Amino acid sequence: MYRRAPHARARHHRRRPRQEGDHDDHRSGRRAGSGPPRPQLRRQCPNRCWVADFTHVATWNGGVYVAFVMDTFSRRIVGWSASTTKETRLVLDALEMALWQRDRDGFPYEQGELIHHSDAGSQYTPFALTEHLNRAGIAASIGSVGDAYDNALMESTIGLFKTELIKPGRPWKTLSQVELATAEWIDWYCHRRLHGEIGHVPPVEYEANHYMKSTKPQVTTTRFSSSPARRQHARSQGGTRRDASAPAAPTARSGHRRRPAFRSAAIADW
């Protein structure tokens, strides 16, 4: 059987030259130049990008769906909800918990600065969710259809949820049992579980360190001028100036200096 030489095939399958604006995304299968590059989901501070998704848990009473909302900065799960139906109300409840959680912590999001990213599932595309995000000043971001890597950060967290809680705890009986176990796992995940991607610390501690560095008080010193005009102003206000040749007032304990009082800085309870 005759086969065409490799160099002959290359002449008939030449690629077009790379142009400005093209990008490579071999994981999603999109060809170069098919659209703008996907925005970076990892941010440099909290409340800039949240990713959302939900999963299914089998119980004796039927299926249970658990939705999550996670901050990509610290990988902290800021909101979640569970229900026996996978409707838009499921993901809206998780979003509402995330907003409430940030308000309770004292670090609410700023309108126009937060992105809510999810896959193209039917629960995240209806008008009710889009209108809710618009009223809250949150930008909606939806991934491409059939792309398993588009929301990989949230998918990996759901994989941990299944591996560390759902599979070892089977069989699950009711919705309330799944809700209680999920609440306990999220508390451990956010406050005690160590994450290698953020320096082997829990997400809550990682955010606390960030806020302590960004809100560290700045100590400023004021230098007073000893100009003749300032001295004249002090005399006119009734102030007195001690003569340099006059002896200093004797202290109560000669030869001893009073130690300054030590004040400990208050540590916020994160």
Q: 215-240 pLDDT, tens per residue?
A: 765 555 555 555 666 666 666 766 55
Looking at residue 247, its pLDDT comes to 54
Looking at residue 151, its pLDDT comes to 87
Q: Is residue 240 situated within a structural domain?
A: no
**DSSP run (H or E) holding 105:** helix 88-105
Looking at residue 143, its pLDDT comes to 86
Q: Is residue 2 situated within a structural domain?
A: no
Looking at residue 43, its pLDDT comes to 62
What CATH number has the domain bearing residue 178? Answer: 3.30.420.10
Looking at residue 44, its pLDDT comes to 82
Looking at residue 206, its pLDDT comes to 96
Q: Is residue 235 situated within a structural domain?
A: no
Q: Is residue 268 situated within a structural domain?
A: no
Q: Is residue 42 situated within a structural domain?
A: no
Residue type, 225: S
Looking at residue 109, its pLDDT comes to 94
Q: Is residue 9 situated within a structural domain?
A: no
Residue type, 231: R
Q: Is residue 80 situated within a structural domain?
A: yes
Looking at residue 214, its pLDDT comes to 84
Looking at residue 203, its pLDDT comes to 97
Quick one: tokens of 127? Answer: 């008008």
Q: How many domains does the structure of the chain reveal?
A: 1
Domain extent at residue 159: 49-213
Q: Is residue 69 situated within a structural domain?
A: yes
Residues of the chain short of pLDDT 70, as ranges, are: 1-43, 148, 216-235, 237-270
Looking at residue 26, its pLDDT comes to 40
Looking at residue 237, its pLDDT comes to 66
SS (H, E, C) 203-263: HHHHHHHHHHHHCCCCCCCCCCCCCHHHHHHHHHCCCCCCCCCCCCCCCCCCCCCCCCCCC
